[in-house]
Copies of this chain bind each other. A is one copy, B any other.
Amino acid sequence: MNVPPRRPLTLRDVSEASGVSEMTVSRVLRNRGDVSEATRAKVLSAAKTLGYVPNKIAGALASQRVNLVAVVIPSLSNMVFPEVMTGISNTLDGSGLQPVVGVTNYLPEREEQVLYEMLSWRPSGVIVAGLEQTEAAKAMLKNAGCPVVQIMDVDGTPIDNAVGISHRRAGRKMAEQILKAGYQNIGFLGTKMPLDHRARKRFEGFTEALAKGGVQVMDQEFYEGGSALAKGREMTMTLLERNPEIDFLYYSNDMIGAGGLLYLLEKGIDVPGQVGLAGFNGVELLDGLPRMLATMDSCRAEIGAKAADIIRHHVENPEAEPEIVELSPKIAPGDTLRRGLG
């Protein structure tokens, strides 16, 4: 057994082992410039034998290029963001760019730290969730010297590029659909997160469109922490006990909506006859529920893919103009929203 080297291997080690100059070794390892098959083979064999792993830090410093794309998101446990990540990863695959994830827990201060940390690695691009950042964070992003894509939301003014949906419009559309179906006594269930701007905007759009129809939200309930499914169940119970006349529940995410659905079915309440339901996101999970919850697709994978595309394009073409891409979420009425007038 050979003892693991205390000092990591360098190009020089490979150069000496193969009898080829450092520069040529570097060329072989990066597939750049013309190198004869013979030297190429010598170098690769030496590198493999030694177990050489190039030092990207030195490489990045010398070349002023870093193949990293910083992705800054509020949470990993939201189910939504892993899907965005998948879209990003798939699109970046084969581009030579690597996504690096930072998580902010919905805290602006933490977002600032994470951004600072990531920008200090001089990434080739930044993808950040939302249009709302602290002034300091916005300043950093403006000076990042690389393309920036704000994702998920287009209700506002982006720093550079943006890809997302209009949550205000999404809330409005759902409200219109609900009114059209003839529901009148509407409850809202959401998260206790003043900093979840997208949920807030959906709610604003929702109430705005209801108001146009002469309807007000009858009651609301908010939760934090715990199992979203369980909370959805509890909140639904609470709301219906408080307001037996409620005929529709709009949930700010599908998971609590699913909890509500399970509760109502257990209680033997007629869905969507007596009470209609709708969630938001269009998560895969819904496929397995006893009944399909009405929802609205938030275009997550698509958003990730498009954001990554923009980064790729701007990396290859630094003079490209900023893009703002608004995707159109579709309502999936499922089985919990009456069609036409009741």
Contacts and interface: CB of A to CB of B under 8 A. Distances in A.
Contacts of A341: none
Contact of A57 (B4, B66, B259, B287): B66
Contacts of A119: 53
Given A51-B139, A51-B143, A288 B232 contact: yes
A339 interface: no
A77 interface: yes
B55 A122 contact: yes
A55 B120 contact: yes
A38 interface: no
A316 B287 CA distance: 48
Interface string A65-98: 0100000000011010011011001000000001
A140 interface: yes
A89 B66 contact: no
Given A54-B120, A120-B54, A290-B262, A145 B8 contact: yes
A60 interface: yes
Interface in A2-59: 4-9, 51, 53-58
A314 to B, nearest CB: 14
A282 to B, nearest CB: 12
Given A4-B145, A227-B288, A262-B289, 4 more contacts: A4-B142, A85-B103, A101-B101, A230-B288
Interface of A: 4-9, 51, 53-58, 60-61, 66, 76-77, 79, 82-83, 85-86, 89, 98, 100-101, 103, 116-117, 119-122, 139-140, 142-143, 145, 226-233, 258-259, 262, 266, 284-290
